[in-house]
Structure 1
Amino acid sequence: MAGSFQSVEQSLHKHLPPEEGKEVLRILYGKAASLQGTLDLPSAAVELAATKNFELAGYSLKELAHAEETRAARVVRVGAIQNQIVLPTDKPIIDQRNALWKRISDIIDVAAMCECNIICLQECWTMPFTFCTREKKPWCEFAESAESGPTTQMLQELAKKYNMVILSPILERDANDVMWNTTVVISNTGDYLGKSRKNHIPRVGDFNEETFPNEFTSGDGKAAHKDFGHFYGSSYVACPDGSRTPGLSRIKDGLLVTEIDLNLCRQIKDKWCFKMTQRLDLYTEELAAAIKPGYVPPIIKD
């Protein structure tokens, strides 16, 4: 059953009465439930996605931002891509990577037809999600340079060809042989813009080799079990206030095209006053003191 369960949204539409379903979606999606509209995507893109066997969905969230008198709307289309591996994990590393390149290139072709300005690829998209195994060989061979590695070079050509920004999360190996979980940012002109990275390669909750062959608990008060749950799909785009689009399939590759107004970011900051109570200078002073040897907390007793 789990393998054929397409999505939560599909099940809700199928089983809930319209009015009740509308209220459930409001709770799940926030304001986006009433404002979002389905994008009218090109028929050629829809047909090509069907031919290439991946889901294509499009939504508009730009209406969540209000019109401003002193600033024009900044509407962009974001394409979020989710994908499975293409070849089995016992195939040569280069073949596995090249097969994923081809798969993602096909999906980006469709994203360009849908006029996407920004493409977001999934974490470590050039390889299987091997981190749960804690094995080094051969998975470390997927690591490459963020600035000039073969994956970055391949995507630079697509970014330039289609005039789109691409965010490419890869396993990076830097010049000092340090490995990083890195997102590479490639500009719409094909230039390397920069990267965001961390080197705590993820072991996600119960999803690691120490645990999943044996019964385990998840710290939720339930009995020990061997099922660590579904681990794929349901990608969505979220707004700064938590409103979101429906998710993609739980069992299929997909491209989610979402039209957004970037002005909403500042509008939510102004409305929710995120920085109103920040005391950054005080935090700096207190933390600098706390990390010094011999630090004694200022405990006041009556």
Structure 2
Amino acid sequence: MASPEFLSLEQSLEENLPPADLSNVRRILFGRETRKLDLPPSALVAASQRDFELLAFAFEASKEQLRPARPVRVGLVQNRIRLPPDAPVSEQVGALHGRIVEILEVAAQCGVNIVCFQEAWTMPFAFCTREKLPWTEFAESAEDGPTTRLCQKLAKTHNMVVVSPILERDEAHGDVLWNTAVVISNSGAVLGKTRKNHIPRVGDFNEATYYMESTLGHPVFQTSFGRIAVNICYGRHHPLNWLMYSLNGAEIIFNPSATIGELSEALWPIEARNAAIANHCFTCAINRVGVEHFPREFTSGDGKPAHCDFGYFYGSSYVSAPDGRRTPGLSRTRDGLLVAQLDLNLCRQMGDLWNFKMTGRYAMYAEELAKASQPDYRPHVIKE
């Protein structure tokens, strides 16, 4: 596993390859190169002063005769927690609120239309501990909790759609918890919410102690800037999960995550990019950064010694396009804002080129999946 001190694959390539080799390596790794966006000097200065990385790229589509271009700018925010997990809950939340406010001010200067934060952005990712207090105190209402109210204000102020993944307290249904993303319109209204469809039971990810799989299905949100969906974290490992958001019309699928190097870093550059190709849409993969140390040791039931942290959250957030191109990733070690300008016309253009949805055998899959889910199912294996 690459150490936390390893800043990024992209930086290593730039520092160690001659220009001709670098161009070919980048073409093979990332597809046809994305154009760097020019950003206001004031935004670059503000990002430097506030100590976060700021990168910006553009994906173009072919010019059409009957449809104008459909440009939209998305912003992906990755960050570390601001205070240690043993600080008072209200102070931790307040510090993270403050950090997001200052990053969104820069996103607004960059013309971002839709922004998405990392999974459970208002808290440390404490679901490894299996403890209830104080971690369940971070949960709040998706409709009118303090984080949603803050995001409503920011959305309206900046004319920006905000995707805010939180730990939800569902007061209408017995105060149960959910891993939820709240989608807030650029008008400031709560457009709706979606929840995590797949709950990991891998290593330290003991999330079923806190919440279960969503019952909301695969909602897609029509915003002023395009149709978006939110595939939270572990759902990226399930190709059919991406597919269902796409079949419901998503043009951009955000994947807010919290994942560590030892477990998933080799998978990270592949899964969201493959989903963009397979589903003729844009995908936005977001991961937090840093190590979060908890007050008491916990074990994973895997024979390893008890420990006080998950491991290293490696950042590396990126955007991928339906033609297979992807941006370089943000740093593995720093807070960051990745801005990407997408021409949504590229979704249909790549669908017309590759015809995956026309050639997909969905009725056949549905029939066979229905059979496979039955207790008396026998695999269709032909033997001599």
Q: Quickly name the TM-score band, shorter chain normalised.
A: 0.7 to 0.9
Aligned to 2:117: 121
Matches within 5 A, 1:265-280: 265-280=347-362
SS class of match (1:237)? strand
The reply to whether residue 190 of structure 1 matches residue 188 of structure 2 is yes
Aligned to 1:262: 344
Give yes or no for contact 2:55–2:338 (8 Å, CA) kept in 1.
yes
Normalising by the residue count of structure 2, what TM-score does the alignment of the two structures yield?
A: 0.68
- Give the drift of 1:287: 4.9
Matches within 5 A, 1:142-161: 142-161=138-157
1:131 to 127, 130, 138: 127
Higher RCO structure (Cα 8 Å, ≥6 apart): 1
Question: Whole-Å Cα distance in 2 between the matches of residues 191 and 204 of structure 1?
Answer: 36
- Give the drift of 1:21: 1.0
Distance 1:282 1:155, change over 3 A: same
Question: Whole-Å Cα distance in 2 between the matches of residues 46 and 276 of structure 1?
Answer: 44
Give yes or no for contact 2:203–2:302 (8 Å, CA) kept in 1.
no
1:60 to 53, 58, 62: 58
Give yes or no for contact 1:49–1:56 (8 Å, CA) kept in 2.
yes
Aligned to 2:78: 82
Aligned to 1:11: 12
The reply to whether residue 246 of structure 1 matches residue 244 of structure 2 is no
Matching residue's letter, 1:184? V
Structure 1 residues 84-93 or 125-134, which shifts more?
125-134
If you compute each CA radius of gyration, which structure gives the higher value, 1 or 2?
Answer: 1
1:49 to 11, 32, 47: 47
- Give the drift of 1:151: 0.7
Identical pairs, percent: 59
- Give the drift of 1:228: 8.2
Structure 1 residues 229-238 or 80-89, which shifts more?
229-238
Structure 1 residues 45-54 or 278-287, which shifts more?
278-287
Give yes or no for contact 1:181–1:200 (8 Å, CA) kept in 2.
no
- Give the drift of 1:148: 1.7
Aligned to 2:267: none
Aligned to 2:235: none
Distance 1:28 1:206, change over 3 A: farther
Aligned to 2:158: 162
SS class of match (1:275)? helix
Matching residue's letter, 2:169? R
SS class of match (1:60)? strand
- Give the drift of 1:4: 3.1
Give yes or no for contact 1:132–1:203 (8 Å, CA) kept in 2.
no
- Give the drift of 1:294: 6.3
Matching residue's letter, 1:161? T
Question: Whole-Å Cα distance in 2 between the matches of residues 292 and 155 of structure 1?
Answer: 44
More strand by share: 2
Distance 1:204 1:152, change over 3 A: farther
Question: Whole-Å Cα distance in 1 between the matches of residues 17 and 314 of structure 2?
Answer: 25
- Give the drift of 1:196: 1.7
Deviations 1:11-36 (A, max 9, x none): 111111111111111111112x2xx2
Give yes or no for contact 1:85–1:127 (8 Å, CA) kept in 2.
yes
Question: Whole-Å Cα distance in 2 between the matches of residues 258 and 136 of structure 1?
Answer: 38
Matching residue's letter, 1:38? K
- Give the drift of 1:280: 3.7
Deviations 1:84-134 (A, max 9, x none): 000010011111111100001100000001111110111111111112222
1:97 to 93, 105, 114: 93
- Give the drift of 1:203: 5.2
Q: Size of the alignment, in residue pairs?
A: 287
Structure 1 residues 169-178 or 242-251, which shifts more?
169-178
Question: Whole-Å Cα distance in 2 between the matches of residues 292 and 8 of structure 1?
Answer: 45
Distance 1:286 1:12, change over 3 A: closer
Question: Whole-Å Cα distance in 2 between the matches of residues 48 and 212 of structure 1?
Answer: 45
Normalising by the residue count of structure 1, what TM-score does the alignment of the two structures yield?
A: 0.85
- Give the drift of 1:83: 0.4
Give yes or no for contact 1:83–1:252 (8 Å, CA) kept in 2.
yes
Question: Whole-Å Cα distance in 2 between the matches of residues 125 and 46 of structure 1?
Answer: 24
Distance 1:279 1:47, change over 3 A: same
Matching residue's letter, 2:121? W
The reply to whether residue 26 of structure 1 matches residue 22 of structure 2 is no
Distance 1:92 1:263, change over 3 A: same
Give yes or no for contact 2:77–2:336 (8 Å, CA) kept in 1.
yes
SS class of match (1:40)? coil
Matching residue's letter, 1:109? E
CA RMSD across the alignment: 2.8
- Give the drift of 1:2: 3.0
The reply to whether residue 214 of structure 1 matches residue 324 of structure 2 is no
Deviations 1:173-196 (A, max 9, x none): 212123221111111100111122
Deviations 1:184-222 (A, max 9, x none): 11111001111221265445556674168827xxxxxxx
- Give the drift of 1:297: 7.8
Matching residue's letter, 1:20? D
